[in-house]
Amino acid sequence: MGVQFVRILSPARLSFSIEGEIKSFSDRQKIKEFMTTKPVQ
């Protein structure tokens, strides 16, 4: 399993790096959708 981390870029924007795939979100609802639909590995 790869390294996973969350970095806060600003109060309203988060960047996720999961096994080399980087996702950035500025909307809390989109973050929730991503985290609940991403399969656990």
Instruction: Give the tens place of pLDDT for each residue, 1-39.
Output: 555 666 655 555 556 566 666 666 666 667 677 667 655
Calculate Rg over the CA atoms of the chain.
10
Residue 33 has a pLDDT of 74
Mind spelling out the 3-state secondary structure of the chain?
Answer: CCCEEEEEEECCEEEEEECCEEEEECCHHHHHHHHHHCCCC
How many degrees, rounded to 5, is the angle at CA 25 between CA 2 and CA 35?
50
Domain segments of the chain: what residues?
4-37
- Residue 1 token pair: 């399993």
Tell me: pLDDT of 40 over 60. no
Residue 11 has a pLDDT of 52
